[in-house]
Amino acid sequence: MLRKSAAVLLGILVGVFAMQVRAEEPLRIVLGFPAGASSDTVTRLIADKMRDSLGRPVVVENKPGAGGIVANMAVKSAPPDGNTLLLTPLATMVAYPFSYSKLAYDPFKDYVPVAHIAAFQLALGVGPNVPAKTLAEYVALVKKGGEYANFASAAVGSLPHFFGILFARTAGVQMTHVPYKGTANVLQALLSGEVPAGIVPISDIGTLAQSGKARVLASSGATRSPQYPDVPTFKESGYDIEGAAWYALFAPAGTPSDVVDRLSAAAIKAIQDPDVRKKIEPLGLEATGLGPAELAAIMKADHDKWGPVIQASGFKAD
- Where residue 31 falls among pLDDT bands split at 50, 70, 90? very high
Q: Give the pLDDT mean for 21-40.
A: 83
Q: How is the chain classified by DSSP, letter by letter?
A: -HHHHHHHHHHHHHHHHHHHHHHHSPEEEEESS-TTSHHHHHHHHHHHHHHHHHTS-EEEEE---GGGHHHHHHHHTS-SSSSEEEEEEHHHHHTHHHH-SS-S--TTTSEEEEEEEEEEEEEEEE-TT----SHHHHHHHHHT-GGGGEEEESSTTSHHHHHHHHHHHHHT---EEEE-SSHHHHHHHHHHTSSSEEEEEHHHHHHHHHTTS-EEEEE-SSS--TT-TTSPBTTTTT-----EEEEEEEEETT--HHHHHHHHHHHHHHHTSHHHHHHHGGGTEEEEEE-HHHHHHHHHHHHHHHHHHHHHHT----
- Where residue 157 falls among pLDDT bands split at 50, 70, 90? confident
- pLDDT value of position 168: 93
- With pLDDT > 70 as the criterion, what percentage of the chain qualifies? 92
- pLDDT value of position 308: 85
Whether 205 shows a pLDDT value over 60: the answer reads yes
pLDDT, tens digit, for every residue of 108-156? 999 999 999 999 899 999 999 999 999 999 999 999 989 999 999 988 8
pLDDT, tens digit, for every residue of 293-308? 999 999 999 999 889 8
Q: Give the pLDDT mean for 24-48.
A: 92
- pLDDT value of position 21: 39
Q: Which CB contacts under 8 angstroms, 24+ apart, belong to 183-189?
A: 183/33, 183/36, 183/37, 183/38, 183/39, 183/154, 184/33, 184/34, 184/35, 184/36, 184/37, 185/34, 185/154, 186/152, 186/153, 186/154, 187/36, 187/214, 189/152
- pLDDT value of position 285: 87
Whether 243 shows a pLDDT value over 50: the answer reads yes
Higher-confidence residue of 217 and 184: namely: 217
Q: Give the pLDDT mean for 34-59.
A: 94
Q: Which CATH class is domain 27-118+246-313?
A: alpha beta
Whether 3 shows a pLDDT value over 70: the answer reads no
Q: How is 102-161 classified by DSSP, letter by letter?
A: S-S--TTTSEEEEEEEEEEEEEEEE-TT----SHHHHHHHHHT-GGGGEEEESSTTSHHH
- pLDDT value of position 5: 53
- pLDDT value of position 305: 85
- pLDDT value of position 46: 97
Whether 20 shows a pLDDT value over 70: the answer reads no
Q: Give the pLDDT mean for 266-283.
A: 94
Whether 69 shows a pLDDT value over 90: the answer reads yes
At the topology level of CATH, where does 121-219 sit? D-Maltodextrin-Binding Protein; domain 2 (3.40.190)
Examine domains 27-118+246-313 and 121-219 and report if their fold is the same: yes
Whether 12 shows a pLDDT value over 70: the answer reads no
Whether 172 shows a pLDDT value over 70: the answer reads yes
Instruction: Break the chain into its structural domains and give their ranges.
Output: 27-118+246-313, 121-219
- pLDDT value of position 13: 47
Whether 192 shows a pLDDT value over 80: the answer reads yes
pLDDT, tens digit, for every residue of 71-120? 999 999 999 999 999 999 998 999 999 989 889 999 999 999 999 999 98
pLDDT, tens digit, for every residue of 214-230? 999 999 998 999 888 99
Tell me the average pLDDT of the chain. 90
Q: Which of 178-182, 200-204, 253-257, 302-306 has the highest mean pLDDT?
A: 253-257
